[in-house]
Structure 1
Amino acid sequence: MLVDLLIRNAHILTQDPAHPVAGSLLVHDGKILAVDPDLEGAGFPVRAARTIDAGGATIVPGFNDVHAHSVWFGLGLMEANLGAASCLEDVYRIIAEAAEPLATDEWVIASGFSPLLLGGRQPDRDRLDAAAGGRPVWIKHSSGHACTLNGAALDLVARGADLAAPIDGGVVAVDGTGRPTGLLEENAMRLVQDLMLPYPLETIERALDLATTHYLSEGITSVTDAGIAGGWIGYSPREFAAYQNARDKGLLSVRMQPMMVLDALHEVRGHATDPDSRGLDAGIRTGLGDEWLRLGPVKIFSDGSLLGSTAYMTEEYVGCPHNHGYLQMDAEQLRSSALQAYRAGWAIAMHAIGDHAIDHAIDIITEAQDTYGRNALPNRIEHGGVVRPEQLDRIAEAGIVLVPQPHFITEFGDGMAQLLGPERTLRSYPARSLLERGAVLPGSSDRPVSNGRPLDVMQSFVERLTPSGQVYGPGERITAAEALAAYTTGSAAATGAGGIKGRLAPGYLADLVILDQDPTAVEPSRISATQVLGTMVGGDLRFGAEHFPALTDTDDLAAAAAGKDN
C-alpha cells in the first residue's frame, strides 16, 4: 500500500480523548489515515511517497479562528497603518507620509486607529486637512464601528447627503457649534462607504491572498469571516465571488467560512405554501460549499462596540451619564428579519456585546429554534462583552455558541474596565463560565480589531491581563490545555465541523501545526513565545517546508519508523 505521507518523531497532541498523545501520523488523500500505526503488524508492506521527521517538535491540530475579517485585514496590509500611533501627532505624521505620493484628488485611506489607546482623543479634521495637503482622508477605526473623515472628505460626502439628518443606528458627531467633527459612528459610516464602495473584485482577491498567506505563518488553517457582502462591513455585493475567484486562482491559502451580512439577504418569492423567508436567489443558504469554502451563518448586528461605548447595556457606562448604547435597528425589526432568515435555512450569528443586546439575541435565537427546529450549523452570539450569569444559563441550555475574544483584554482591558466598572468587568468576555456549564468555547480574535495570532490569544485566555498588568475577571481564566481545545475542537464544534476538523484522528482533515514547544507545558507567560515551525492544510505543508525536508524515496515505513516514535 502506498500512502501520501508519514510524519514521525513528533510529540502530537491529537485532541482525541481516545488517543490523546501520539508520535506518528499517516496522511493520505488530505486526511489522517492512521495515528501511531502498528507498522510491524500491518500484514502487508506500507510505503510513503514522502516522510517528514519532525525532530521531536510538538504537533497540534490546525488553529481555527471562528470570528475574523480577512478582507478588512488584508486591505489593512495595503493601507496606511495607524495601529502603532501613540499620540495624535503620530496620526498626522503617518497621514502626511501616506499622502505625499498621491495625486491631489486621491483619497488617503488609513486603518487600525484606536481612540481608546489614546485616551479617547480623536484627530482634528482641520489638522488632517493640513497633513493630507487638502486630499480627502478616511480613517478606519480598529473597532470597525466608527471612522474619521477630514474636512475635505466631509465636503465630498455632503454633496450627496445631509450630514444633519438623523441616521437610524448611527451618529454624525458634531462639536459645540454643530459643526461635524469628522467622527462617524455605526450606520453613519455608510455615508462615506456610499462614495468608496464597492471595491473591485481583484482588490478583494488581493486582500484575501495577503490575509490567508499571513494566517499560515501563525498556524491558522480555518477561518470564519464574520460579515461580507453587505452592511457597513461588506466591500462589495459580489464579495462571495471574490472568495470563489481567490480559491480558483490558488490565492485562498486556508479554509474559509464566510458569513453573509443580513443586509445582503432579501425576500425570495416561492410557492404560496412556502413560508415567508429572507435569503438569496435560488434558495442558497447556510452550508452551501465544500471543505475549502462553505457559507456560514447570516451575520446580524444588534448593537455597537464596547470600545466606542455604543454596545447596548442595561446599565449606563461609567462616567457617561444616560449612555446605555443602542440597538442598530428597531427591536421588532431585528426579531422579524432574523426569524425570516432562519426560516430560509440560515443559521444565526448575532453580534451582541452589551448585556441588553444579549437579552434580545437569546430571545430571538431561542424563539427561532423552538418554532422551526435546529438548523445545519449552531446558532451563535458574537462577542459577549458583558454577560449576566442567568444569560449564560440560557445560552448553555439552548445550545447557543457564545464567541468571546479574550485578546481584547490584553489590548484594551484597562479602557474597557473603566467603562464597565468592577462588577461588570467580572462578567466580561467569559470563558470559564461557559466550560463549567458545558457550553462550547471556540477560539477567535475579531482580527483586525485585535491581534489574531492564536498563540497570543491562548495566552490571553489563560492570563487575562490588561496592558497595565491587572487581572480582568480572574474567575474566567482557563488552562492552557483548555485554550488549545478552544482553538481546535471548540472552534470545529462552533462552525458545525466537529466531525472533520479539530482533531488529529483517522478520517479527519490533515490540517495541523508544528510548534517548537508544547504550549500546554510551559509557564502561561511563555505560551505566546511558542513559534510556528510549519503549517499543513489538507496534507500539504504550506508554511515552513524549509524546516522539514521530506524524504521522497518511498522508504518502507517499517524501516523509517525503526526506533519507535515517542
Structure 2
Amino acid sequence: MQLDLIVENARVVTGDPARPAASRLGVWQGLVVGVDEQLDGLATRHRLDARGTLVHAGFNDAHAHSVWFGQSRLDVDLEDATTDEQIYDLVRERADELTPGAWITCAGYDPGHLTTREPDRDGLDAAARGRPVVIRHNTGHAFTVSGSVLQMIGMSEGVAQQPEGGRIHVDGGGRPTGLVEETAMSLVQRLMQPESQEHIGECLRRASAEYAAEGITSVTDAGIAGGWIGHSPLEFAAYQRARAAGHLKTRFQTMVTLDALHPVEGHADDGVLTTLDAGVRTGVGDEWLQIGPTKVFTDGSMLGATAAMTEDYHHCAGEAGYLQQDPGEMRRTSLAAAAAGWSLAMHAIGDAALDFSLEVIAEARERYGRPAMPHRVEHGGVVRDDQIARMAELEVVMAVQPNFISAFGDSVEDRIGPERKKLSYPAGRLLRAGMVLPGSSDRPVAGGRPLDVIQDFVLRLTETGQVYGAHERITVEQALRAYTVGSAQATGWEARKGRLVAGQLADFVVLSDDPREVSSDRIGAIEVLATAVGGRLVHGEHLLDARA
C-alpha cells in the first residue's frame, strides 16, 4: 500500500483520548489512516517534514459570511476611519476611479469608533459627486446611504410608512438621514441585486484563500440566497461553480435563509411543504459543499439597539429592540420548514428573541423529533441562566463569537449596561451546562482569524483591555476543541471531522507554536505554516517533499 502523504517529525495532537499525541501522521485518499508505528513499512508519494512543529486538526468556523467577507476586500475599507471627514475622503478617492453613476460600496464601518458625527446623506452626495453610495455597517444590520440612493428608493424627502421589522431614520423635520436598518435594507439591496454568479464566485475565491492561510479547513456560511444577507437566488449555484472551477480551498456548509424557502406541493399524503424545489433540505451535499440548517432572523443587533430584549437598553428608556417579523408568522414558517426536514438556525441576539426562538425549537422537537443536524441559536448577545438550562435540555447548539468582545465589547456594554454584560456572549456557562460549544467568528462583522478568536475565548478583553465576563473564560484546550470537535458536532460532522484519527478527514494545520504552551496573550501571534484539506496542502505548499 502506498500512502499519499506522511507528515513526520511532528507534534501531532490527535484528539484521541486513548492516544493524544503522535510524531507521524499518514494520509490516503483524503483520510487519516494511522499514526506512528501504524505507518511502518508503508511507502508514500509525498512527505512533509514538520520539523518539530505542532500539527492539529484544522479549524472549523461554524458561523461566517464568506461572500460578504470576500466582497469586503473589493469595497472601500473604512475600518481605520475615526472621523466623518476621513470617510468622505475615502469616498472621494474611490469616486475618482469610477465612471459617473457607478456605485460606491464601503465596508468595515463601525460608528461606535468615530470621534466625530456620523457621515450623512448630504456629505456622501458631495463626496461622491452624485454617485450612489452604500456604507455597510460592520454589524450587517444597517446601511448608511447617500441622498441619491434614497431618491432611487423613493424616500428622498420623507417616509410615508416604516417597513415591518426595520426603520428608515429621519431627522427632526422628517427628512431621511441616510441610515436604514434591518428589513429596510432590502429596499436598497433590490437596486444592487441579484449579483452575478461570477462576482459571487470571485468573492468566495478571495475568502477561501484567506481562510486557507489562517488554518481554516471548514466554514458554515450563515445565510445565503435570500433576506438582507443573501446575494442572489442562485447563490448556492455560485458555490457549486466555484467548487467545479477549483476556487475553493475550504469545505463549505451553507444556511439557506428562511424566506428563500417556499411551499412545494407533493402527493396528497405529503401535503404542502415549505422547502426548496425537489424537496431539497438540510443535509444535501457532500464533505466539500453541503446545505445546512435554514437561517431564521428573529431580531437585529445590540450595537444598533435593534436586538429584542426583555428590558430596555441602558440609558434608553422605552427602547428594547424588536423582532424582525410578526412572531406568529415567524413561528408558522419556521415550523413549516422543520416539518419539511430543515434544521433551524435562529439568529437571536437579545434575550427576548432567544425566548421566542427556544419556544419555536421546542415545538419543532416535540412535533418532528430530533433534526438531521442540531437546531442552533446564533450569537447569544444576552443569555440568562434559565435559557442555558433550556438549551441544554433541548440539545440546542449556541454559536457565540468572543471576537465581538475584543472588537466592540465596550460599545456593547454601553448599550446593555454592566449587569447584562455578565450574561453576554457566554462560553464557560455553556460548557458547564454540558452544551456543545463551536468556534465561530461571524466574519466580516469582526476579525475572524481562528487563533485570534481562540485568544478571545481565553482572555475576553475589550478593545480597551477591560475584562468582559471573567466567569465565561475557558481554557486554551477548550477553545481549541470548540474550533474543531465543537464545530464538527454543531454542523453534523462529528463522525468525520475535528480529530486526527483513522477514518476522519485529513484536514489539519501546522502551527509554529503550541497554543497551549505560549502566553495566552500571544496565541494570536502564532504563525500558520501550512494548511491541508483532505491531505492536500492548500497553504504552505512549499513545505512538501514530493520524493517518494
**TM-score, normalisation: structure 1:** 0.95
Q: CA offsets per residue over residues 198-225 of structure 1, 9 Å max, x none? A: 0011000100000001100100000000
Structure 1: tracts of 5 or more residues without a match = 555-566
Q: Which residue of 2 aligns with 1:271?
A: 267
Give the CA deviation at 1:69.
0.2
Q: Deviations along 1:521-553, whole A, 9 cap, x unmatched? A: 11110110111000000110110112x13141x
Provide the C-alpha distance between the structure 1 equivalents of 2:227 and 2:215, rounded to a whole number of angstroms: 30
Q: Deviations over 1:59-82 (max 9, x none)?
A: 110100000000001111111111
Aligned position for 1:193: 189
Aligned 8 A contact 1:492 1:498 in 2: yes
- Partner of 1:51: helix, strand, or coil? strand
How far off is 1:20 after superposition?
1.2
Shift of 1:123: 0.9
SS of the aligned residue for 1:208 comes to: helix
Report the Cα distance in structure 1 between the residues aligned to 2:52 and 2:114, rounded to whole angstroms.
Answer: 45
Alpha-carbon distance in 2 for matches of 1:510, 1:276: 41
Distance in 1 (CA, whole Å) between partners of 2:520 and 2:264 is 51
Q: Do residues 250 (structure 1) and 230 (structure 2) align?
A: no
CA RMSD of aligned residues (A): 1.3
- Cα offset, 1:51, TM superposition: 1.3
- Runs (5+) with no aligned partner, structure 2: none
In the alignment, the residues of structure 1 paired with residue 238 and residue 18 of structure 2 have an alpha-carbon distance, to the nearest angstrom, of 40
Distance 1:162 1:173, change over 3 A: closer
Q: In the aligned structure 2, how far is the partner of 1:159 from the partner of 1:420?
A: 32
Deviation digits for residues 144-163 of structure 1, max 9, x if unmatched?
00001111111122189984
Residue 125 of structure 1 deviates from its aligned partner by 1.4
Aligned equivalent of 2:5:
5
Verify: 1:449 aligned to 2:445, yes or no.
yes
State how far apart, in whole Å, the 1-side matches of 2:157 and 2:365 are: 41
- Does residue 550 of structure 1 match 2:545? yes
- Aligned equivalents of 1:256 and 1:160: distance in 2? 40
In structure 2, the partner of 1:14 is 14
- AA partner of residue 322 (structure 1): G
Q: Which residue of structure 2 aligns with residue 96 of structure 1?
A: 92
Which residue of 2 is the match for residue 433 of structure 1?
A: 429
Aligned to 1:413, the other structure's residue is in SS state helix
Kindly indicate whether residue 389 of structure 2 is the aligned counterpart of residue 393 of structure 1. Answer: yes
Q: 1:534 aligns with which of 512, 530, 539?
A: 530
Match of 2:168 in 1: 172
Conserved 8 A contact 1:262-1:300: yes
Q: Spell out the pairing of 1:337-356 with structure 2 (5 A cutoff).
A: 337-356=333-352
Contact kept, 8 Å, 1:275 with 1:343, in 2: the verdict is no
1:38 deviates by 3.9
Q: Is the 8 A contact 1:361 1:381 kept in 2?
A: yes
Deviation by residue 1:304-339 (Cα, 9 ceiling, x = unmatched): 011111000000000111110000001111111100
Pair 1:374-2:354 in alignment: no
CA distance in 2, matches of 1:164, 1:83: 34
Secondary structure at the counterpart of residue 357 of structure 1 = helix
> Quick one: distance in 2 between partners of 1:350 and 1:332?
15
Q: Secondary structure at the match of 2:47?
A: strand
Percent identity over the alignment is 52
SS at match of 2:381: coil
Whole-Å Cα distance in 1 between the matches of residues 475 and 284 of structure 2? 35
Q: Taking structure 1 as reference, are residues 238 and 395 closer, same or farther at Cα in structure 2, changes over 3 Å only? A: same
- Offset from partner CA, 1:119-141 (integer Å, 9 cap, x none): 69421211111111121111111
- State the one-letter code of the partner of 2:33: L
SS at match of 2:289: coil
Q: Which residue type is aligned with residue 93 of structure 2?
A: E
**Pick aligned residue for 1:132 from 125, 128, 132:** 128
Alpha-carbon contact 2:34-2:501 (below 8 Å) kept: yes
Aligned residue in 1 for 2:75: 79
Structure 2 contact 120–145 (Cα < 8 Å) conserved = no
* In 2, Cα distance between equivalents of 1:176 and 1:275: 51
In the alignment, what sits opposite 1:318?
Answer: 314
Q: Which residue of 1 aligns with 2:29?
A: 29
2:418 aligned with 1:422, yes or no?
Answer: yes
Alignment-derived partner of residue 561 in structure 1: none
Q: Does 1:220 align with 2:216?
A: yes
* 2:158–2:176 CA contact under 8 A, matched in 1: no
The superposition leaves residues 214-250 of structure 1 with CA deviations (integer Å, 9 ceiling, x where unpaired) of: 1001000000000000011111001000000000001
In the alignment, the residues of structure 2 paired with residue 451 and residue 265 of structure 1 have an alpha-carbon distance, to the nearest angstrom, of: 31
User: 1:383: how far off?
Assistant: 0.4
Query: Does the 8 A contact of 2:6 with 2:26 survive in 1?
Result: yes
Secondary structure of the corresponding residue to residue 291 of structure 2: coil
How far 1:501 moved relative to its partner?
Answer: 0.3
Does the aligned pair in 1 maintain the 2:125–2:148 contact within 8 Å? yes
**Per-residue deviation at 1:25?**
0.4
The answer to whether the 8 A contact 1:65-1:223 is kept is yes
Q: Distance in 2 between the 1:401 and 1:113 partners? A: 30
CA–CA separation in structure 1 for the residues paired with 2:257 and 2:465: 37
What amino acid sits opposite 2:127 in the alignment? A
* SS at structure 2 position matched to 1:3: strand
- Aligned partner letter, 1:447: R
Distance 1:127 1:36, change over 3 A: same
SS of structure 2 residue aligned to 1:393? helix
Question: Which residue number in structure 2 is paired with residue 563 of structure 1?
Answer: none
* CA apart distance, 1:258: 0.6
Contact 2:150 2:156 survives alignment (8 Å): no
TM-score w.r.t. length of structure 2: 0.98
1:560 — aligned with what?
none
State the aligned residue count: 548
Shift in CA distance, 120/266, structure 1 to aligned 2, threshold 3 Å: farther
